[in-house]
Structure 1
């Protein structure tokens, strides 16, 4: 009896199109999350990841709570991003200390957001500067 080749199941998409990826550490789960981001968001996620890795070559990566996280050893997580229906939200956990601060305020003290929509140009130079600054600050322990 012939068997069909097995294909890895595509990750489920949660509300807003956020990929459901199991909690794990390292680059592989982050890449799985990015590959599962729907439509234009996957290209954006890939570019964000490339900029972060180029700016902070020794960055640690993980996926927790269906969110890619980036941090420094012994300092905690400084950045994460998450898919919503119409945008990708980049969260700087100590963004209130960045100069200039990312534009999106948060209910959580010190946290700042950058919401990126399909037609929004990404200011790669500013984003890299925020990543550089954020990587030098104490991060969140999660």
Structure 2
């Protein structure tokens, strides 16, 4: 039987492995902002910047938190990307990343998914990231 994380005693979300916050699932910007606010240290700044760039690149982007990760969608039923905190980086997942030009560097066991690891130093190329976000939002999304 899987063990549940203990409830926080100080009112703050529990941090799971890698510093990823355990945030209740929910739709909208509120849960995403709660997730970002609960990220520890430098990860909070990176999460905030990722969210700002995604929101600017895709006006009206749909947001939610599921599986302790923020998800971003261009329509009412599918998602095109997410991110998740790990110890040394934040992993951005483009669900149809193999169709992006150029293809993001991180491979996956799933043939269409590509990753971008963002370290404490931040995004190496915000312009390229923004292009990827726009391309990803224009592709068919994933149902989740």
Structure 1 residue 122: deviation in Å? 3.2
Residue 79 of structure 2 aligns to a residue in which SS?
Answer: strand
* Aligned residue runs from structure 1 range 1-142, under 5 A: 9-74=11-76, 76-142=78-144
* Structure 1 unaligned spans of 5+: 1-7
| Structure 1 contact 69–80 (Cα < 8 Å) conserved | yes
Residue 77 of structure 1 aligns to a residue in which SS?
Answer: coil
Structure 1 residue 131: deviation in Å? 0.3
The RMSD of aligned alpha carbons is 1.2
Question: CA–CA distance in 2 between the matches of 1:121 and 1:93?
Answer: 19
Per-residue CA deviation, residues 62-91 of structure 1 (Å, 9 max, x unaligned), is 000000000012451001000001110000
Question: CA–CA distance in 2 between the matches of 1:122 and 1:23?
Answer: 30
Per-residue CA deviation, residues 24-50 of structure 1 (Å, 9 max, x unaligned), is 000000000001111101001000000
TM-score (norm 2): 0.90
Compared CA separation, residues 28 and 127, structure 1 to 2 (3 A): same
- Size of the alignment, in residue pairs? 135
* Structure 2 unaligned spans of 5+: 1-9
Compared CA separation, residues 107 and 46, structure 1 to 2 (3 A): same
**Which structure's CA Rg is the greater one?**
1
| Structure 1 contact 75–138 (Cα < 8 Å) conserved | no
Structure 1 residue 119: deviation in Å? 2.5
TM-score (norm 1): 0.92
